[in-house]
Structure 1
Amino acid sequence: MKKIALFLAFLFFYTCTECRLYCQPKSYTFDSLQLAAEYDRLSDPQFNQGRELVSLLKIKRADRVLDIGCGTGRLAAYVAGITGKEGKVIGIDPSPFRIAIARRREKSNLLFKVAGTEELSLFEDNSFDVVYLNSVFHWIADRAQAMVEIYRILKPGGKLGIAMGAKHQDSLLVSILRQSAQSVLGYIPKEFDVNEYQREADEALELSRESGFKIKEIKTRHYVDLFRSGEECIRFYEASSGGSLLREFPDFQRKKILSQIEERLERLKTAKGIEIPHNILFLIDEKPK
């Protein structure tokens, strides 16, 4: 039932992501170019959140920047506009479908590679001014090793930015998920009670200190994302998760649960659409000089 817990974390963190990594290869077994393209169209929530992370990092012209879990590359392309031709932005993501779309955005100062945090050994010591993970941290399998590697590849004085689910969350989506599962299965899987978002936020702070970083800033912001329909909301989740949404259930149960989720979302629709509240934690670390 590990994938259920991962999906619960996805709801809390609103993953997936302008920038996302998958815990294991099987997590994007169901991904496709079509899903990646759909995510690219629907990824405004992560893109807008990412722009705030970039602002907090104070990225400058001529900076060398690494976007870990870059997805289809929207945020990396935005950052490349800030660094200018004197700088360099590299985006990595383990999904070849996301990278296929990202590569359409490549230019002289913007490059994309199919890779995850396990491949950070590709990069030399002290080679980046900024590294960031936008809605990505919770998908990394070995977070401790990833933080050590990020510290290694950052220059002294370089910054790491992490945007992730905050400890205190509105429970709307989780409530809908639990109600839908109860309706279809007749019970609520115990994994739905896992308080993943608080554990992951605490871990990010702890690993920052253990890796040698100096924590420069911690900020929480409340967001309200807007969807035109329950169907669009579900499509966003499906595309963001690389097609792995609720795949641990038999297909007939999965379809029923998704239908229940969509119906409950539709009941929340107003003249503006469906509002989904969530809180994001922004963590800015610095490698000591």
Structure 2
Amino acid sequence: MSEIDWDSPKGAEKYDRNCDHQFQKGQVLVEMMGIKKGDFVLDVGCGTGRQALNVAEIIGPAGQLTGIDPSSYRIELARKKFVEGSPGNVRFLVGQAENLRAVPDNSINHAYFCSSFHWVDDKKTALNEIYRVLLPEGRVGMTTLDRNSPNKMRALVDPVLAKYNIEKRHEWHRGMKKVTAPELHDLLSGTGFTGISIEPRAVQRKYNSPGEFLQHLEEKDSPEGVLKDIPEEIRKKIRKEITEEFRKAHTPEGTGFGNITLFAIATKPN
């Protein structure tokens, strides 16, 4: 998993407050995988530990959970969530998906990537590591963005930025290495996994106001902070135009910007 070179203590805290979208998709994945009491679980790209809290409750004291993430700031927050009355069966480690040396062979019932697989640089190596640590009949699962999915947020923002000749000034989702459903199937199959299920789902991220949407675009510690370094006088004009476009797309249920998310599960054969 690539190093998060844009992360910071404040960035980790912002992520913890604003990761409901990823967390909810992860809850669905965990249920789909059938994680149960007593299971040994690996959370790859665990972030600040929100999904770990959910899973720790499911597996109970008889199970074990290991969370791993390349951001030391996020791992620090994850550990704090388990400080008081912390069960001895939960641990968090700073590390990469491509190197799970702290996890023994054939020791895990379920390993999952909740909105983190698209950040992994060397996906083949990472999946080989997952295969190694899984028990026979163990399962790997992931929610990951489909590379072929249109970016509705970008479709709204880019034309406004283009008016000011800054459409290429920033990268969206910098560092992400998305895959398509067929590519993901080939990666899992090539590793040796069987019983592969990949389900594309349209998952909306709702914004209730232009201000909420703009705040997301301006966050300095977000890879989507496409407005964060634009001079203030230009940014004011851009904010006004984006607000107008946002209101055009608004519905009583809120304004949704979503990508196709791939919900994938596969099994290590016995």
Compute the TM-score of the two structures, normalised by the length of structure 2.
0.83
User: Does residue 1:251 correspond to 2:251, yes or no?
Assistant: no
Q: CA deviation at 1:30?
A: 3.2
Unaligned runs of 5+ in 1: 1-20
Q: CA deviation at 1:236?
A: 4.4
Tell me if the contact between 1:53 and 1:162 (Cα under 8 Å) persists in the aligned partners: yes
User: Which residue of the partner structure matches residue 172 of structure 1?
Assistant: 152
Using the alignment, how far apart are the partners of 2:168 and 2:221 within structure 1? 24
| Worse-superposed segment, 256-265 or 157-166 | 256-265
Using the alignment, how far apart are the partners of 1:238 and 1:79 within structure 2? 32
| Worse-superposed segment, 125-134 or 37-46 | 37-46
Using the alignment, how far apart are the partners of 1:261 and 1:40 within structure 2? 29
User: Which residue of the partner structure matches residue 145 of structure 1?
Assistant: 125
User: Which residue of the partner structure matches residue 15 of structure 1?
Assistant: none
| Structure number with larger C-alpha Rg | 2
| Worse-superposed segment, 57-66 or 251-260 | 251-260
| Worse-superposed segment, 49-58 or 35-44 | 35-44
User: Does residue 1:228 correspond to 2:208, yes or no?
Assistant: yes
Q: CA deviation at 1:182?
A: 1.3
Compute the TM-score of the two structures, normalised by the length of structure 1.
0.78
User: Which residue of the partner structure matches residue 162 of structure 2?
Assistant: 182
User: Does residue 1:159 correspond to 2:139, yes or no?
Assistant: yes
Tell me if the contact between 1:238 and 1:244 (Cα under 8 Å) persists in the aligned partners: no
Alignment of structure 1 residues 73-88 onto 2, 5 Å: 73-88=49-64
Using the alignment, how far apart are the partners of 2:249 and 2:153 within structure 1? 11
User: Which residue of the partner structure matches residue 260 of structure 2?
Assistant: 279
AA aligned opposite 2:142: I
Tell me if the contact between 2:217 and 2:228 (Cα under 8 Å) persists in the aligned partners: no
Using the alignment, how far apart are the partners of 2:240 and 2:181 within structure 1? 30
Tell me if the contact between 2:75 and 2:93 (Cα under 8 Å) persists in the aligned partners: yes
Query: Counterpart of 1:101 in 2: which secondary structure?
Result: helix
Change beyond 3 A, Cα 1:177–1:205: farther
Tell me if the contact between 1:231 and 1:262 (Cα under 8 Å) persists in the aligned partners: no
Aligned residues: 260
Tell me if the contact between 1:132 and 1:162 (Cα under 8 Å) persists in the aligned partners: yes
AA aligned opposite 1:98: R
| Worse-superposed segment, 173-182 or 124-133 | 173-182
User: Which residue of the partner structure matches residue 39 of structure 2?
Assistant: 63
Percent sequence identity over matched residues? 31
User: Which residue of the partner structure matches residue 189 of structure 2?
Assistant: 209
Query: Counterpart of 1:157 in 2: which secondary structure?
Result: strand
1:24-63 Cα offsets, whole Å, 9 max, x none, are x3xx333222222222122111111001100110001110
Using the alignment, how far apart are the partners of 1:238 and 1:143 within structure 2? 30
Tell me if the contact between 1:130 and 1:160 (Cα under 8 Å) persists in the aligned partners: yes
Larger relative contact order, structure 1 or 2 (CA cutoff 8 Å, min sep 6): 1
1:76-108 Cα offsets, whole Å, 9 max, x none, are 110111100000111111111111111122221
Using the alignment, how far apart are the partners of 2:197 and 2:40 within structure 1? 21
AA aligned opposite 1:288: P
1:104-159 Cα offsets, whole Å, 9 max, x none, are 22221322111121331221111110000011111111111111111001111000
Unaligned runs of 5+ in 2: none
AA aligned opposite 2:230: F
Using the alignment, how far apart are the partners of 2:57 and 2:239 within structure 1? 41
User: Which residue of the partner structure matches residue 133 of structure 1?
Assistant: 113
Tell me if the contact between 1:31 and 1:244 (Cα under 8 Å) persists in the aligned partners: no
AA aligned opposite 1:144: K
Using the alignment, how far apart are the partners of 2:99 and 2:149 within structure 1? 32
| Worse-superposed segment, 164-173 or 37-46 | 164-173
RMSD: 3.1
Q: Of the candidates 13, 31, 34, which is equivalent to residue 10 of structure 2?
A: 34
| Worse-superposed segment, 100-109 or 142-151 | 100-109
Tell me if the contact between 2:98 and 2:129 (Cα under 8 Å) persists in the aligned partners: no
Q: CA deviation at 1:273?
A: 3.0
Q: Of the candidates 83, 89, 102, which is equivalent to residue 65 of structure 2?
A: 89
Change beyond 3 A, Cα 1:153–1:242: farther
Query: Counterpart of 2:230 in 1: which secondary structure?
Result: helix
Tell me if the contact between 2:146 and 2:179 (Cα under 8 Å) persists in the aligned partners: no
